[in-house]
Structure 1
Amino acid sequence: MKFVLHAPLLAATALLGVTVTAAQAETTLNALFMAQAAYSEDDIRSMTSAYEAAHPDVKVNLEFVPYEGLHDKTVLSMGAGGGYDVVLFDVIWPAEYAQNNVLLDVSDRITNEMKSGVLPGAWTTVTYENKNYGMPWILDTKYLFYNKAMLKKAGISTPPATWAELKADAQKIKDAGIVKYPIAWSWSQAEAAVCDYTTLLSAYGGDFIKDGKPDFQNGGGLEALKYMVDSYNDGLTNPNSKEFLEEDVRNVFQNGDAAFALNWTYMYNLANDPKDSKVAGDVGVVPAPGVEGISDASAVNGSMGLGITTTSKHPDAAWNYITYMTSQKVQNAYSKLSLPIWKSSYTDPEVTKGQEELIAAAQTGLAVMYPRPMTPHYQEMSMALQQGIQEALLGTASPKDALQEAADNSGL
């Protein structure tokens, strides 16, 4: 991994950057990032230190919050007069941010090279009503990870291609006594649960909204939640999944306590690292399964972008920083935790070496990413869905009743 091999150089550059900028910085940017999944905090600090070293007149103050605090921290800072110049935002927020004038429209800053070089699907991350509110940065979806040794021990020759096969394989592994709870999910009452639910909804051909009204309580949306509840009640899903976030899932899987896990790209290389993982070398990855007769694979659009707040006093410097962070050179160097947004990166040995299996899964998964609904009322809908999923898992409401209540409280 290039960024590991060059860590001493990056560290030295970072120290130099801090020394120079402390004395000479004329512009200070405040940037808000996420402290979970995708790029690590250390990676973002290294990227930023290298940027500062090349731009000694700019100092970037970094702040990291859990994903669950990212939206509210951004919105509240606007009311306080705008504390941030650059913010990380989820694919589900541009509609709301556009309506409330949170981010600058940067359409006129995007070059032809950017337009043609970035994967078309990545632009959906930052676009609302034909306007671009930033640059895509994290291109991501959830994949099905599996423990090769456990599958082999259970006599399973290939990973599951459908969700029905996943349940059947998990039952074989459980019956063989290989692991008590074969599947781990991120089902905490948070956006993570909605992402897992969206993956299943896409597999079953469901819709979040139809004709301007909620539709996830019907058809494929209902089948998705039934699948979740059934796998939980059958003892195939780790019961603690209802409190798990993505890092909990990674820790359970790489500790050898799960045969299957749904998670983001970043888990592949971390779970294959023998320094921290008990299952290194046995980690397989495939696109999330499909449903026979409906879909071949499933995926949720979990991408994120970097944008400039409308209250930034340094929009030009902020854009310069964003274009550096999203540049192909930087993304290729840090591609072991988040795959690049650039088309040509996928044939670059710097990116593909050592993660050919992940790249193969990405070619399918990224092509079928299903969007969570682009609506200014998304936060309200998501909160209602999170609660409904929890109620169904806990058995306090049937999947049908839980989703109907969520639909009634969705804000649509």
Structure 2
Amino acid sequence: MNIKNIMTGAAIGVLAASGAAHADVTLNALFMAQAAYSEDDIRNMTAEFEAANPGIKVNAELVPYEALHDKIVLSQSANGYDVVLYDVIWPAEFAQYQLLEDVTSRIDDKTRSGILDGAWTTVEYDGALYGMPWIADTKFLFYNKDMLKAAGFDNPPATWEELRAQAAAIKEKGIVDYPLVWSWSQSEAAICDYTTILSGMGGEFLDADGKPAFNTGGGLKALEYMVGTLDDGLTNPNSREYLEEDVRRVFSSGQAAFALNWGYMYNLANDPAESQVAGKVGIAPAPGTDGVSKASAVNGSMGLGIPTKSGHKEEAWKYIQFLTSQNVQDKFAKLSLPVWEASYSNPDVIKGQEPFVEAAKTSLAVMAPRPTMASYQEASSVLQEALQNAMLGSVKPADALNDAAETISDMQ
């Protein structure tokens, strides 16, 4: 063999070895480290995906919800992620700045019809789909059965006024110092609680012309209700600093009779390893208002999408399809209920969490949206500050909301 052939053969060998070395694809995926699926759930799902797809590895990064939005936005300049978890409030912004792939053509009719209608609003904007629904969730009312019984109540409250009355009775009897606990820190968590109450009191964020309307009607009543429970000593004052995990901790330690939180809390609060009140925890749809609503709920759903700068879009879509498949969702349904309609008649999903599933049937059907606007993050920050100022007593609820409405109008 002459030197030319030797060199050619060596070059081919190097190229072949190089190709083999780079055959595996590594996906970078961004998730949330609170509520819904646990970190163990996500890592176990991912391990099953990798076992079924030996050519694909996944680096799963979990961050607090409060960091999720900015991580997604900032990563676009560095090709950071191939799959991202995002909130229902962000598609308008992400679509405007082309941060997520339009996957409308990838989703077949069978998938469209099999998933709950309301879940599609999580990933849809202006007629296009920017991912797959993954978490269908809202806030529920959790209650301590023993505390209600000790106060003489057989059933949880059906209206917001009943909640206030039951809390007052529980406090008066000395059963617990602060019957109510909420996630009212100056964050999106407070907006979700406010939206829940606003929806049940007949309020709206925006009017028919897209202008702020939360400073009137049910929106004003909702904030007055929140402030009133603080003034009456019914709400734990630390709620103004709490996020959802703080709420779970306080309720699970027996320091509250009622809590508003996402669905994931039901099984954790009834787990002896996680809770001092396991077996005593009930769940119901958030209350309604006489003559206005039977229940209240906020759309807290989340979807999985592919950043436009991902270099592995086919593999990313395969991973998303796996995570959002009915089989996987049914298997991991203890902290987050599936988005598939058929799952709600699956005995394996329902068993052991019948009250959770029953409450979800009502709540998921009445979820109220937060405003769909590209400047949502900025508008939310303004409203968060207004809520906080009112709850701290530095400004009256009406004045706080009027100022916020004026500022948000100027943004539009």
- TM-score, shorter chain, exceeding 0.5: yes
1:294 aligns to what? Answer: 292
SS at match of 1:337: coil
1:181 to 178, 184, 204: 178
2:387 to 380, 386, 389: 389
CA distance in 2, matches of 1:243, 1:169: 24
| C-alpha displacement of 1:25 | 5.7
Please list, as runs of the form range in 1=range in 2, the aligned pairs for 1:36-115 lying within 5 A after superposition. Answer: 36-78=34-76, 80-115=77-112
Q: 1:25 to 1:39 in 2, by over 3 A?
A: farther
2:236 aligns to what? Answer: 238
| C-alpha displacement of 1:256 | 0.4
Alignment gaps of 5+ in structure 1: 1-21
The 8 Å contact of residues 249 and 263 in structure 1, kept in 2 or not, is answered as: yes
The 8 Å contact of residues 184 and 258 in structure 1, kept in 2 or not, is answered as: yes
1:401 aligns to what? Answer: 399
Please list, as runs of the form range in 1=range in 2, the aligned pairs for 1:194-343 lying within 5 A after superposition. Answer: 194-210=191-207, 211-343=209-341
The 8 Å contact of residues 24 and 56 in structure 1, kept in 2 or not, is answered as: no
2:130 aligns to what? Answer: 133
| C-alpha displacement of 1:408 | 2.0
SS at match of 1:214: coil
SS at match of 2:184: coil
Could you say what the CA RMSD is over the residues aligned between the two structures, in angstroms? Answer: 1.1
Structure 1, residues 355-409: CA drift from partner, whole Å, max 9, x if none?
A: 1111110010000000001111111110011100100000111001111121122
SS at match of 2:272: coil
Structure 1, residues 318-358: CA drift from partner, whole Å, max 9, x if none?
A: 00000000011110111000000000100101100011111
CA distance in 1, matches of 2:343, 2:43: 23
CA distance in 1, matches of 2:404, 2:334: 37
SS at match of 1:368: coil
1:372 maps onto 2:407 in alignment = no
1:190 to 181, 187, 194: 187
1:155 aligns to what? Answer: 152
Question: Which stretch shifts more, 275-284 or 402-411?
Answer: 402-411
1:9 aligns to what? Answer: none
SS at match of 1:285: strand
SS at match of 1:395: coil
1:172 maps onto 2:169 in alignment = yes
| C-alpha displacement of 1:212 | 1.8
Q: 1:177 to 1:94 in 2, by over 3 A?
A: same
| C-alpha displacement of 1:173 | 0.2
1:124 aligns to what? Answer: 121
| C-alpha displacement of 1:226 | 0.3
Structure 1, residues 94-114: CA drift from partner, whole Å, max 9, x if none?
A: 000000000000000001221
CA distance in 2, matches of 1:354, 1:343: 19
CA distance in 2, matches of 1:384, 1:233: 23
CA distance in 2, matches of 1:201, 1:25: 53
CA distance in 2, matches of 1:324, 1:243: 37
CA distance in 2, matches of 1:147, 1:254: 9
CA distance in 1, matches of 2:272, 2:360: 23
CA distance in 1, matches of 2:21, 2:269: 41
Q: What is the TM-score of this pair, normalised by structure 1?
A: 0.93
Structure 1, residues 159-195: CA drift from partner, whole Å, max 9, x if none?
A: 1000000000000000000000000100011100000
Alignment gaps of 5+ in structure 2: 1-19
CA distance in 1, matches of 2:191, 2:273: 32
2:358 aligns to what? Answer: 360
CA distance in 1, matches of 2:22, 2:307: 25
CA distance in 1, matches of 2:241, 2:348: 37
SS at match of 1:257: coil
The 8 Å contact of residues 31 and 62 in structure 1, kept in 2 or not, is answered as: yes
Q: 1:101 to 1:293 in 2, by over 3 A?
A: same
Counterpart of 1:42 in structure 2: which amino acid?
Answer: D
Identity of aligned residues (%): 64
